[in-house]
């Protein structure tokens, strides 16, 4: 029986009966401007985040959140464990490095081997001395059409750690760019493409790239749903429908990437529920049936995390 590694420990895949959010943040700090906007604080915002997830659990059966806050992003494993316990929604935590502007001190001087050892130690022993073990590597970042030198090393380290531990890798492709280069680099280590999810592809208006990634066997994340300041949901819908029409529904992942407190419902934002309350109804209206929606929102995330094939989940 396949299991996920959640912040509360192992969870049988068979226990995940409702949808998942494939790329989210529940606690993070990306504040570089000093205005505190790009923050989800464990003290000020945890109860609001918990309430949103609990409401989605009750209304839509939300069963799982893949939480991709990693090193240098203000992660807080203890807060994630509390949110999971209080909301009733399982949470998978992450380790890795975001894109280069957020690399912690010392990352630039470390070799691929040293970076890999750091990740394996966290996967085996837990995050930040908490004993909370990550269940995914992510969101491993790069920006531009090709990763920079430091980003190349952190991507390679993630791939080697994935091979050593059996976890999968979720990436951050800044504004959707660089996914093909990320896949080439990660798969070049021997990591199977179906253990790789290329992030933020709904920010790239290039269906040919999406098809190429999926044809290679990787998951393609349409994971910034509701972020209208980056891309309209109308465009996301068009891109996703083109992807499905090309025959790649088994490689689509969906999420909202809530990454600041202004996106929370209590602050007037779209919230974690935007996918369920707005975008999925639009998909249904476009003719996508509930079986395909279950595939994209439950079975695909589980297959990505575990490496299972379609017959198993």
Q: What is the pLDDT of residues 201-226, one digit of tens each?
A: 999 999 999 999 999 999 999 999 99
3-class DSSP assignment, residue 91: strand
- pTM, two decimals, is 0.98
3-class DSSP assignment, residue 145: coil
> Distance between CA atoms of 87 and 21, rounded to whole angstroms?
14
Question: What is the structure's pLDDT at 310?
Answer: 80
Cis peptide bond upstream of 278, omega within 30: no
Across all residues in the chain, what is the average pLDDT?
97
Question: What is the structure's pLDDT at 114?
Answer: 98
Length of the chain: 313
Instruction: Please tell me what DSSP assigns to residue 153.
Output: H
Cis peptide bond upstream of 83, omega within 30: no
The burial class, CB within 10 Å (0-12 / 13-18 / 19+), for 33 is exposed
Q: Residues 23, 24, 30, 35: is their CA dihedral positive or negative?
A: positive
Is residue 6 within 8 Å of 90, Cβ to Cβ? yes
Give the pLDDT band of residue 2 (cuts 50, 70, 90): very high
Minimal CA–CA distance to 139: which of 50, 59, 285, 22? 22
CB neighbours of residue 38 within 10 Å:
18
Is residue 54 within 8 Å of 84, Cβ to Cβ? no
Minimal CA–CA distance to 82: which of 104, 54, 60? 54
Give the pLDDT band of residue 48 (cuts 50, 70, 90): very high
> Distance between CA atoms of 284 and 292, rounded to whole angstroms?
10
For residues 181-207, average pLDDT: 98
Minimal CA–CA distance to 195: which of 279, 119, 137, 236? 137
> Distance between CA atoms of 37 and 262, rounded to whole angstroms?
7
The residues that bridge with 220 in the sheet, in sequence order, are: 198, 252
For residues 32-60, average pLDDT: 95
């Amino acid at each position: 029986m396949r299991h996920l590694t959640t912040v509360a420990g192992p969870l049988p895949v068979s226990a995940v009966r409702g949808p998942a959010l494939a790329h989210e943040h529940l606690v993070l700090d990306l504040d570089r401007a000093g205005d505190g906007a790009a923050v989800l604080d464990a003290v000020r915002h945890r109860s609001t985040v918990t309430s949103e997830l609990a409401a989605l659990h009750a209304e839509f059966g939300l069963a799982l959140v893949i939480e991709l806050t990693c090193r240098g992003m203000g992660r807080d494993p203890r807060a994630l464990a509390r949110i999971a316990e209080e909301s009733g929604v399982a949470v998978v935590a992450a380790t890795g490095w975001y894109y280069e502007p957020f690399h912690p001190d010392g990352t630039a001087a470390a070799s691929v081997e040293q970076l890999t050892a750091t990740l394996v130690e966290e996967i085996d022993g837990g995050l930040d001395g908490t004993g909370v073990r990550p269940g995914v590597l992510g969101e491993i970042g790069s920006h531009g059409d090709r990763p920079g030198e430091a980003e190349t090393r952190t991507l390679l380290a993630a791939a080697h750690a994935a091979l050593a531990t059996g976890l999968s890798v979720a990436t951050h492709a800044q504004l959707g760019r660089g996914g093909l280069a990320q896949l080439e680099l990660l798969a070049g280590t021997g990591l199977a493409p179906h253990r790789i999810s290329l992030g933020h592809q709904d920010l790239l208006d290039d269906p040919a790239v999406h098809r190429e990634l999926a044809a290679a066997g990787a998951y393609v994340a349409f994971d910034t749903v509701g972020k209208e300041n980056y891309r309209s949901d109308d465009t996301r819908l068009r891109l996703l429908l083109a992807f499905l029409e090309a025959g790649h529904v088994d490689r689509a992942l969906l999420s909202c990437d809530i990454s600041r407190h202004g996106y929370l419902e209590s602050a007037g934002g779209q919230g974690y529920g935007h996918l369920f309350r707005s975008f999925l109804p639009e998909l249904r209206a476009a003719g996508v049936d509930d079986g395909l929606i279950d595939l994209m929102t439950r079975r695909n995330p589980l297959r990505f995390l575990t490496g299972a094939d379609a017959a198993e989940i």
